[in-house]
Chain A
Amino acid sequence: MRFLFLVFDDPQAAAALTDEQRHEYATAFRDYAVMLRDRGRYVDSAGLDDPATATVVRPGDGMVTDGPYAEATEHLGAFFHVECGDLDEALTLAKEVPVATGVRVEIRPTFS
């Protein structure tokens, strides 16, 4: 089955990162994705840009607004979509997710 790892960040701490820290995090992120691929667990992954870059559209009438949907003390900073046998395996992998300012990883089974 497939699981989505939703990596939540602390926006204030993320803004305070130095360039060097950002670079280290990007490297760790890539290494983690490579590890997933090597083990045949990788489906997809991406980092999300700052919430300030977000645009919100309402399905139906198509009304467009600027900014994130809601101000929050934590926001979605990255995701990994993985293929795992069960939740225990997913939990083991999710514990290894690289964190820059990560506060938690939410694991959600996905279906298509």
Chain B
Amino acid sequence: MDTVSKAHTEHWARLLALLVARLRRLDIAEDALADAFATAVRTWPRDGVPDHPERWLLTTARRKAYDLLRHESVVARKLPLLVTDEVAPAADEWVENEVSIPDERLRLLFTCCHPALALEARVALTLRMVGGLTTGEIARAFLVPEPTMGQRISRAKRKIASAGIPYRVPSGAELPARLGGVLAVLYLVFTEGYAASSGPGPVRADLAAEAIRLTRLTAALMPDEPEVAALLALMLLQHSRRDTRLSADGELVLLTQQDRARWHLDEIAEALRLLASRSPASSYGLQARIAAEHARAAEAVETDWAEICRLYEELDRLTGSPVVRLNRAVAVAERDGNPAAALGLLDGLEDPLGRTHLFWSTRAELLHRAGRDTEAAADYDRALELANTDAERRLLTSRRAALR
């Protein structure tokens, strides 16, 4: 990675968060910082990398911001200043006089994930502002045209300023719900990396890696929040299997058939450490502990299905989610060695899950184990109609062909 890209990865969010705090303008801060990095791309190779790249970028961006503010059309309706809790220091005082550059990234994160913004806007804005991805990169990751993504991001920035969304980390009673909202955005970015809703390939590991980077950052900034650590552990455990989810010819490989020697052991170890210290009985915490049980088994046959069933039962009780019930049924079938109890758990799930291929493919597999292949074939047909990616369709076709 070249020096500017490295500086971008390391400093973008921190510098932007600080510029936003001082300028109280998301749009100006973003344009000015992007311009500073563009200047660095031109001048660093020629003049050498400055002694303090972070400070150089901040000073350059700040100068650019004042240019932008000066030239802002008097006619155009300016965006109102962001609401903040403190009075901004006078124009030139705020860089040179600071010994260390303050960390305002949490404020940036919470503002980008405010519930008054549509979920898709929160996701896009977080990736742009905190992740530092370009609009084009985000557009490609979410399979929408770049102008559409550009509009989504600028509309969100306008709403933040005009609607009075504060640039602040919520405190006290507000915090748990708002933190939950932030984690939901991060997890959505992660899962989007693994389950492209359509298209040829099922794994977009770069988006998942970006989600992990942002969650790691959040965990570092909020070390006392066990929920953040639990989500980070969950992501690491799922991501540690990325190289074994697809076979050499691009077919999806089920968890029990993956080559465990190729799981990323360092990431598993980090996740287990995170869970060992504190593992909340929350949705992310329980999901992470389930993933950890799989990660602990050196071979699929060593999996502690009884413990996994116990954790799923707790998760089912906590969330009441039909998807959790479906996964619990699979675990129960593995524990029992027969599908009778598992099929019972699927009762009532057809209504909420009948539009997803996972319900039909799961029931098909259980029916097949119960020797009811005719019914299984009908369920595989339904699953094939609803599958989203080519890899899913190929897996379902091969399993249907194996029926008697």
Interface residues of A (CB under 8 A from B): 1, 3, 84-88, 90-91, 107, 109
Nearest CB to that of B84 among chain A residues? A86
The interface bits of chain B over 171-207 (1 if a CB of A lies within 8 angstroms of the residue's CB, else 0) are 0001000000000000000000000000000000000
**A88 lies within 8 A of B162 (CB):** no
Interface of A is mostly: mixed
B302 to chain A, nearest CB (A): 50
Which residues 97-147 in B have Cβ within 8 Å of A in the complex?
114, 116
**A86 lies within 8 A of B162 (CB):** no
B322 on the A face (CB < 8 A): no
The interface bits of chain B over 67-83 (1 if a CB of A lies within 8 angstroms of the residue's CB, else 0) are 00000000000001001
**A87 lies within 8 A of B163 (CB):** yes
Interface of B is mostly: loop
Q: How far is the CA of A84 from the CA of B165 in the complex (A)?
A: 11
Number of interface residues of B (CB under 8 A): 12
B166 on the A face (CB < 8 A): yes
**Across-interface contacts of B162 in A (CB, < 8 A):** 109
Most chain A CB neighbours (cut-off 10 Å) among B163, B166, B168, B170: B163
**A88 lies within 8 A of B174 (CB):** yes
Instruction: For the A-B complex with A85-B83, A88-B166 known, give 16 more contacts whose Cβ atoms are closer than 8 Å.
Output: A1-B80, A1-B83, A1-B164, A84-B164, A86-B166, A86-B168, A87-B83, A87-B114, A87-B116, A87-B164, A87-B165, A87-B166, A88-B165, A90-B164, A107-B163, A109-B164
Nearest CB to that of B115 among chain A residues? A91
Nearest CB to that of B85 among chain A residues? A85
Nearest CB to that of B165 among chain A residues? A87
**Across-interface contacts of A109 in B (CB, < 8 A):** 162-164
Q: How far is the CA of A109 from the CA of B160 in the complex (A)?
A: 11
B45 to chain A, nearest CB (A): 44
Q: How far is the CA of A87 from the CA of B116 in the complex (A)?
A: 9
Which residues 48-99 in B have Cβ within 8 Å of A in the complex?
80, 83
Q: How far is the CA of A85 from the CA of B82 in the complex (A)?
A: 11
Nearest CB to that of A88 among chain B residues? B166
A92 to chain B, nearest CB (A): 8
Q: How far is the CA of A99 from the CA of B139 in the complex (A)?
A: 42
**Across-interface contacts of A107 in B (CB, < 8 A):** 163
Q: How far is the CA of A107 from the CA of B159 in the complex (A)?
A: 13
A58 to chain B, nearest CB (A): 28
**A88 lies within 8 A of B170 (CB):** yes
B274 to chain A, nearest CB (A): 31
A1 to chain B, nearest CB (A): 5
Q: How far is the CA of A90 from the CA of B166 in the complex (A)?
A: 11
A91 to chain B, nearest CB (A): 8
**Across-interface contacts of B83 in A (CB, < 8 A):** 1, 85-87
